[in-house]
Amino acid sequence: MKNAIAIAAAAMLAGACTTTEKTPAPEPGAALFGSFSYEGNDSIYAICPLADSASYHNPILPGWYSDPSVCTNGKGDYFLVTSTFCYFPGVPIFHSRDMVNWRQAGHVLNRESQLDNFLGQHISGGIFAPDISYNPANGTYYMITTNVGAGNFFVKTTDPLGGEWSDPVYLPEVQGIDPAFFFDEDGKAYIVNNDDAPDGKPEYDGHRTVRVVEFDTATDKCVGERRIVVNKGWRPQDKPIWCEGPHIYKINGQYYLMTAEGGTGDWHSEVIYRGPSPFGPFTPYENNPILTQRNLDRERPNPVTCAGHADLVQTAEGDWWAVFLACRPNKNGFENLGRETFMLPVDWTADGWPVINPDMQPVAMSGRREGVTTDEACRTFGNFSVCERFDSTTLADTWMTLRTAADSLYSLSSTPGYLTLKCADTDATAKGTPAFVARRLQHSAFGCATDMVFLPDSASQAAGLLVFKDEKHQYFLGRGIDKDGRHEVFVDKVTPEGTTTVASVPVDANASVLTLKVGSPDGLTFDFEYSADGGKTFAPVMTGADARHTSTAGAGGFTGTTVGPYAINTRHNNNK
């Protein structure tokens, strides 16, 4: 019954969001998308309802919002950023006044001059693990990160809400990944990050170090020796892997170093150290890890896994909170949502150690912050619906393209009220920029739909909705022409072996307007449907498609699954 309700609700939303005005004619070789609807229907939110208006759901940012970092300016403003890898624009930035209600304030990296060398990179390359920090000494916000194709860099601004961030300042002396700034009370600054084993000679796979170097904010350069402060991890004798995502904090006169360990899978965790200076020496907490889910029963209901890569912030009221990434796998151990952003309060032990989930209990699916009222108008968590009519001059902040801005491939002005996509010669199987405008899947059970105006001129042209994990793991629900010249609505499946049409139905060659719908009742399968009557009735093209194909468990990588309008001029080129 719940699945039927979810599907019906998605159909109602699709109908309500469908464009009903007189249908324009697209230019040759282009498709018009007049609307896009999205609705989440995850049952967990009914199983774990919010207690009151001061409560929130975990994850606070559902869907692929990985590697969160958070900071405050000490004046009641909080800012949070996450990774974007090879998507453009890069690094979404969220703002809050209470740590519960978050609004996206744009992207830190919103110009191509800030994002170099993405072309040719696998989708899980690009921007890794951004860190956002505020330096009260000069009133400046810094975002520092790794561009896998170019090295470590930072950008800065004095106005993260309305101002522009600078062009990148690269730091060739800071090797490795996952850099973070620390601004001390005496005005000095430091960069801490993950790097290779000493002398580049690892004793085992995953042997890494954490290193610290002083940074001069006046010249934007590193100064002095770059020193190793952690070698291997908190228990070197156990050969820990991938000590990464480090952050330094000064709390009550002592310096705390926090890092992730265990890789990005089920063994992921967060550990903490303490020392007398930013260079240590650092002593680990004897009861590490302070956050993990690796000890829990894999068969537990509604599991949260892979918890780690955390950051801490103190609120204006004096309490401490942690943001971190984690996953919500389905009962078969996979998901299409990627690593999501969770938030929990920090407990402090009697001897001054921060702990995120005491006794390594299951991560709570809801939390509460006293004195806060959740704002339904800007809710980022739970089930929600979105109706995008493409009636603005710019894309909403939820939309992304691959590797570049794709300005030459889409337009919001050539046919006002529509997203125009040109059928591009580069498709999503290549490491370039296709005509694909994407948003994250944020729920396991979801429905999304678009009304599309499109008549292909040749068998090479096709347009529709793409479900994208990476270059070799995709589903494409589209309108096209088969190799025998018949018009069809099809589902193409992209695999490492090539592209296969796995389902198709004939369509009237003169029917230029279709509504396409992609959904899932439970996160385990995808259903692909179409309508030729404006979303009033839908017919299946393919139901029960294996959703594991586009999951991290099935495809690997660091991103989650995205979906959105797509147009190509290469159909049948790669078909088996």
Tell me the catalytic residues: 67, 244
CA-CA-CA-CA torsion for 496, 501, 502, 508, nearest 10 degrees?
160
- Report d(CA 540, CA 518) in Å as an integer: 10
Burial label for 484, CB within 10 Å (0-12, 13-18, 19+), is exposed
Distinct helix (H) and strand (E) counts, the chain: 3, 41
Amino acid, res. 331: K
- Report d(CA 388, CA 384) in Å as an integer: 13
Report helix, strand or coil for 564: strand
Are 365 and 42 contacting, i.e. CB atoms less than 8 angstroms apart?
no
Q: What DSSP assignment string belongs to 223-247?
A: EEEEEEEEES-SSGGG-----EEEE
Q: For residue 108, what are the contacts with CB-CB under 8 A and spacing of at least 6? A: 81, 90, 91, 92, 93, 114, 130, 132, 143, 155, 160, 165
Residue the block writes with tokens 């860190």: 131
DSSP β-ladder status, 446-453 and 513-520: antiparallel
Nearest to 475 by CA among 573, 339, 336: 336
Are 562 and 437 contacting, i.e. CB atoms less than 8 angstroms apart?
no
Nearest to 33 by CA among 52, 58, 14: 14
Element (H, E) at 255: strand 254-261
- Report d(CA 500, CA 495) in Å as an integer: 8
Element (H, E) at 194: strand 189-195
Amino acid, res. 75: K
SS (H, E, C) 260-288: EECCCCCCCEEEEEEECCCCCCCEECCCC
Q: For residue 259, what are the contacts with CB-CB under 8 A and spacing of at least 6? A: 194, 210, 230, 233, 243, 244, 245, 246, 247, 270, 271, 273
Are 54 and 368 contacting, i.e. CB atoms less than 8 angstroms apart?
yes
